[in-house]
Structure 1
């Protein structure tokens, strides 16, 4: 097995607002280090530094998971519960649960947190009036959101935020969003924009597949564009020291896996592209130690990696790889496929990479098939990518098809950005 070291051929993805991708993190071949004077301070740290004044006199419920940590790595629920200045009365768990033990498509249910005695309400699968009723039953007047996102439209936490904002407006509650970094940076948006007939919990509204925003910026966009007829009272607490060119390694913050199959920032980097394989019969690497960096299936051979590498996609190499998933697709079976190796974060486009892998998988493996429910259409936001791949289009042609919609989203996005 060999790894190509050829030069880039300059096939660029469609760029959104913010201009060309800038400096990258230290330790990545072919990329300069992003300058950083001091560690980034999260929205929660900023809230704490202000003595929690924003929450004074409020009955607070927190939507969070294991990523909601303080500067000393204690969980924010434990910190807030122990502080007499905050009246914390409830916790709300998203997909995977408050403590993060459930796999994709699952949650932990409602219970009482053994560490604090607080009631934990399960929000997964709830929206609209049903979720508003949960907030009412919890007795809160302010819903605080603090969860680490990964920068992809189909990662469900941002739509948990959206659903909570809608429900809070229905229930007469306020929302406070504590910001955290977009771990893949925030210089640009990339990929197709969702079309509303394809809306679901992996995309409620017209947002680019890789949105290039933080959760606080998205909250502002949701309130200003999609909830404008009935906006929620919204306050956002910004980070200090974060810049749009920072990937997670430049923040100085500890990484806590936001879900079981995003164990590292490197996983987050490729996720917006390789998660598209959830819409196929190939494994996206679940059940391995490097999910989403490995993609393959039983019966795939070296031809796929060779075809993908021959595309000359920017910032990435494709290595022939073999793996045996312990669960999910092809559990216990040896799969052949591709390992995605990002060598230049500044040039890398995860969405274009995912499209290139779909195109070449279909061309080189006779067993390739879409999921029967056309889940790929939910992930990409329309049926256009699927139809173009089936018609034999290449990555550049497919990217050109979504360019106009991406440019429109980029112009809207620009109005809600908070950081340089």
Structure 2
């Protein structure tokens, strides 16, 4: 009887062990996926010290008083800002300037509007800040820049610019800065730029714009990923792009190192699809890949610029996605298989979710070309969207993608241009280490 009971106990024990083994096997992949997703928020390689300060955080009353001949704070301010204009404690730039005694006459909101929620094709309207009742002129949209006219600027004495840029030439905030500087120069206004980090770190790489060889003194003379802060860009614009320089003051950051991880310094969504440091990293190459059909990069989802997808109607094999993941790993990208239903397009996509570990050791340009080459060799045909040229503004990149010209010749030209730009921009850099030209 005892022996029979022992057999029953052993049988039950064996069943339990098998059950536990099955549970372990079933949930191991999910545990792995969860672990990767947790690590996504642990990108910090070297963090800024406690003494790091943004431009807005070291703005002194003495500096502000000395901006105009009156040596007081009676001048009218035109503030260019949005939801990214905050300090490290979350205080808004608007409130900080008002507390310092400045008179903000008008707020100018950039692309995506005052709260950063306007999508690309949405119409933005002028309004007022609900807290202070200060009028807001919305520069969003193709006609927004036309509002930087004499009527809206004549009453302003000093422009103050405080926006968090993403570090890519064609992104809207860098373009807004240039337009504001043109207006300040033309109407003889002072402009103050409060500096902020470049989320994409120290690398300087990529194609220049259309007509670079013939127009080396416009925004097309800046490489795709420039490695500069918004304050350094302002200094470059003033020295090399504006034919009539503006009266520019840059308030630099304190204890900033461009190789520090920026994950704890980007304190607000930049736009509807740039909502985290991971989307900023991905935007460095997926911003262009998203303009190449038939790829999808998660626009309109919480994974925007963090994935590469194809419609499932393409029946692209899962083993091919694994092969692509293996190609991306040496470039500094970890990946997992990912699938989602696009609410915009009403069908399923599948592909890879991407995780960039160290943005300072990552080449966005090389990654983009690797992806394009892989899909071409895999038999995927594609075309450039109507918006591609407006975004990329780079005939060299179009040639590389469409293989119109020998790639080695183009890459050699790119490398020469990058080094020449670095040498030219050298005097406008504010921080050590300097941006690092990344050769192909």
TM, length-normalised to structure 2: 0.78
Instruction: Describe how 1:57-136 pairs up with structure 2 within 5 A.
Output: 57-81=74-98, 83=99, 85-106=101-122, 108-124=124-140, 125-126=142-143, 130-133=147-150, 135-136=152-153
* 2:371 is aligned with 1:357: yes
Mapped contact 2:170–2:391 kept (Cα < 8 A): yes
1:190 — aligned with what?
205
* 2:380 is aligned with 1:390: no
Instruction: Describe how 1:143-158 pairs up with structure 2 within 5 A.
Output: 143-158=159-174
1:412 — aligned with what?
424
Mapped contact 2:55–2:195 kept (Cα < 8 A): yes
Aligned-partner Cα distance in 1 for 2:341–2:60:
45
Q: Give secondary structure in 1 for the equivalent of 2:368.
A: helix
2:303 — aligned with what?
290
Mapped contact 1:198–1:381 kept (Cα < 8 A): no
Aligned-partner Cα distance in 2 for 1:336–1:256:
29
In structure 2, stretches of 5+ residues that fail to align are: 1-28, 30-39, 68-72, 433-440
Residue 315 to residue 366, structure 1, CA distance change in 2 (3 Å) = closer
Q: CA RMSD in A?
A: 3.0
Q: Give secondary structure in 1 for the equivalent of 2:351.
A: strand
Instruction: Describe how 1:211-222 pairs up with structure 2 within 5 A.
Output: 211-222=226-237
After superposition, the C-alpha distances for 1:179-219 in whole angstroms (9 at most, x for unaligned) are 0111121x3311112234799xxx94311111000000000
Between 213-222 and 362-371, report the one with greater CA deviation: 362-371
Q: CA deviation at 1:413?
A: 2.1
Mapped contact 1:93–1:121 kept (Cα < 8 A): yes
After superposition, the C-alpha distances for 1:144-197 in whole angstroms (9 at most, x for unaligned) are 110001111121100100011001211221111000111121x33111122347
* 2:349 is aligned with 1:335: yes
Aligned-partner Cα distance in 2 for 1:319–1:365:
22
Mapped contact 1:304–1:364 kept (Cα < 8 A): no
* 2:57 is aligned with 1:45: yes
Aligned length: 381
Residue 26 to residue 382, structure 1, CA distance change in 2 (3 Å) = closer
Q: Which has the higher helix share?
A: 2
Mapped contact 1:140–1:173 kept (Cα < 8 A): yes
Aligned-partner Cα distance in 2 for 1:401–1:369:
24
After superposition, the C-alpha distances for 1:123-143 in whole angstroms (9 at most, x for unaligned) are 233577752335425x21111
Q: CA deviation at 1:387?
A: 2.5
In structure 1, stretches of 5+ residues that fail to align are: 3-24
Q: Give secondary structure in 1 for the equivalent of 2:132.
A: coil
Aligned-partner Cα distance in 2 for 1:145–1:70:
14
TM, length-normalised to structure 1: 0.81
Residue 398 to residue 311, structure 1, CA distance change in 2 (3 Å) = farther
Select the residue among 239, 261, 266 that pairs with 1:224: 239
Aligned-partner Cα distance in 1 for 2:226–2:210:
15
Q: CA deviation at 1:293?
A: 0.9
Q: CA deviation at 1:272?
A: 1.3
1:9 — aligned with what?
none
Mapped contact 2:212–2:220 kept (Cα < 8 A): no
Residue 407 to residue 238, structure 1, CA distance change in 2 (3 Å) = same
Residue 183 to residue 39, structure 1, CA distance change in 2 (3 Å) = farther
Aligned-partner Cα distance in 1 for 2:408–2:324:
15
Aligned-partner Cα distance in 1 for 2:401–2:325:
14
Q: Give secondary structure in 1 for the equivalent of 2:337.
A: strand
After superposition, the C-alpha distances for 1:34-58 in whole angstroms (9 at most, x for unaligned) are 2643152111111157684456332
Residue 314 to residue 388, structure 1, CA distance change in 2 (3 Å) = same
Greater Rg by CA:
2
Aligned-partner Cα distance in 2 for 1:151–1:134:
32
Residue 73 to residue 383, structure 1, CA distance change in 2 (3 Å) = same
Aligned-partner Cα distance in 2 for 1:402–1:254:
30
Residue 49 to residue 113, structure 1, CA distance change in 2 (3 Å) = same
Greater relative contact order structure (CA < 8 Å, 6+ sep): 1
* 2:217 is aligned with 1:205: no
